[in-house]
Every structure is written in C-alpha cells, then in structure tokens.
Amino acid sequence: MLKQLLFLGARRFVSGHTIEEAVVAVSRLNAEGISATLDVLGENVTDRRAAEDAVRAYLETLDWIRQERLDSGVSLKLTQMGLDIDRDYCRENMVRICERAAAGGSFVRIDMEGSAYTERTLNLFYELFQKHRNVGVVIQAYLHRSPQDVRRLVELGARVRLCKGAYKEPPSMVVQSMSEVRQNFISLATILLSQGNQPAIATHDDALVSWTQGYTAEQRISKDRFEFQMLYGVRSHTQRQLAAQGNRVRVYVPFGTRWLPYFYRRMRERKENVAFVVKNAFRK
C-alpha cells in the first residue's frame, strides 16, 4: 500500500512502468518540438542476471526508438550494466548497447553516479569513446575535480551533459554552498559552450537558464550548437517556452519498476517537489 502511494507521487517524474508508456510520453514531447532521452531505471546491480535484464531492456528501448521514429536517445548507469560485478563484463554490455544504438542512429549517454564511481565511469567512457563516438557522459558541477575532467573531455571532442549534481557526497569532495555550485556550473558551462561539442546544459535553475541565454547571445553562439536538458515532470512550462523560442530542448524520460531511488533523489533536490507530492497524494 505504501509503495502504491509513493508511486502516485513518483508518477510526476516517472513516465510509467513499461516502454509502451514511455513511448507515449516521448511522442507527446516530440509533438511539442522537444527531444528526449529514455532511461530504464535501475542501478547498483550485483548479479549478472539483473545486468542482462537491463541490457535487454535497453536493446528493446533502442528498437522502439527506431521503429517509432522517436527523437530520442538513451541514458544509463554503468552500475546497472554490471560495473560492480566485473569491469570487462560491463564494457562488453556497453559495446552491445552502443552498437545497437549506432545501427539506429541513436545516442547513448552514460549517467554519472556518486563520487565513488566518478573515476571508474570516466575511464570506461574514455575506452568506449575510442571506437564508439555515439556515446557521451555527464559531469557534475559540484565536484572539485570537474574542471580538469571538463578540459580533458573538451580536448577529446566528447559530448558532455553538465548538471549540478544530485548525490549526497562527503564535504571534502564537493563545494558546499549553492552560490559556489552555481559559480562552478557557470565556469564549466563557459568552457563547454565556447569550446565543447554539442554540450547539454542540464538545469532547472532560472538563474542558470538566463545566464546561458545571455552568454550564448553575447558570444553569438548559435542555438543549434548546444541544448537545454531538463527532467520529465519538472518545469514543463519552461521546457515548452524554451523550445518555442527556438532553443534545442531535451527531456530525460525515465521508466521502469526500479523507480524508488530516482524518486528519492528528486525529493531531496527541491522542497517544491515534496510539496507537490504531498498536495497531490490523495487527490482523485
């Protein structure tokens, strides 16, 4: 009963349990001129059967994208692909997904997880990127190490999604205040927008959205050289508004049965999210 009630709240941020439900959500976004990234929810798998299930789900998702001609790529976590089981096994799973995506003209984004996985995630990405140019990665602005990571990724010509960061981290690993996080984000976005390859500015922060619009206009950076990325169910009006202004907008559309950790992170991020869930939990 409790899980059912929680899913009623999570339904704002999760498109559904099945790929069919997710396809409906993506089709609706595409009709509004908004691209998507499909995410089969799951992380930190500890046995090969669970990893194989995740790989099959992604291969099926890529087939749906191709069959339905959706404007969408996929995002995934390496721990979902077996990184905690065996690195080579994880890499083999990623190659399967990258190859299927390439066959259908799709893009694969490797999500960034907690700081314990940052180095391992980037190292495996660098290895994959040598042969699979349809794969990109995420950098979290609140980590102290991110400036050096961004510079290396820009030198490689890799496609980077920049976000603030959503994991609870040791104080030694991250900047502490929101003003510092915003400043780091702006510093990294400046590098990516001026020198990067199709960077994704992933934020719902009005100040950062406005800064991006002002900086790109001032530097005469064309709107087709970058995109805004936002989460499904968060700031939907802003997403449509940005798209109507001629910006490239992509929405991260998660689905699946393993939604609870994702939902928990959304609750931790914004008080407004908690208020929304409480307000709507018992509405008919």
Q: What is the pLDDT of residue 168?
A: 83
pLDDT tens figures, 123-141? 999 999 999 999 999 999 9
Q: What pLDDT does 40 receive?
A: 95
- CATH for 2-280, options being 1.20.1250.20, 3.30.300.30, 3.30.390.10, 3.20.20.220: 3.20.20.220
Single out the catalytic residue among 84, 111, 235, 250. 111
The backbone torsions φ and ψ at residue 106, rounded to the nearest 5 degrees and listed phi first, read -105, 165
- Asked if 219 and 193 touch (Cβ cutoff 8 Å), the reply is yes
Name the token pair of 14. Answer: 């999760």
At 226, is the secondary structure helix, strand, or coil?
coil
Domain ranges for the chain, please list them. 2-280
The pLDDT value recorded for residue 257 is 75
Please give the pLDDT value at position 4. Answer: 52
Options 100, 109, 161, 266, the catalytic residue: 161
Opening angle at CA 124, ends 101 and 175, nearest 5:
110
Backbone angles phi, psi at 138, to 5 degrees: -115, 140
Give tens-digit pLDDT for 202-255: 999 999 999 999 999 999 999 999 999 999 988 999 999 999 999 999 999 999
Q: What HEC string does 53-74 produce?
A: HHHHHHHHHHHHHHHHCCCEEE
- Low-confidence stretches of the chain (pLDDT beneath 70): 1-11, 258-284
| Torsion sign (Cα): 220, 222, 226, 231 | positive
Is there a catalytic annotation at residue 47?
no
Rg (CA), the chain: 18
| 161 counts as catalytic | yes
Mark 19-53 as b/e (b = at least 16 C-beta within 10 Å): beebbebbeebbeebbbbbbbbbbbebeeeebbee
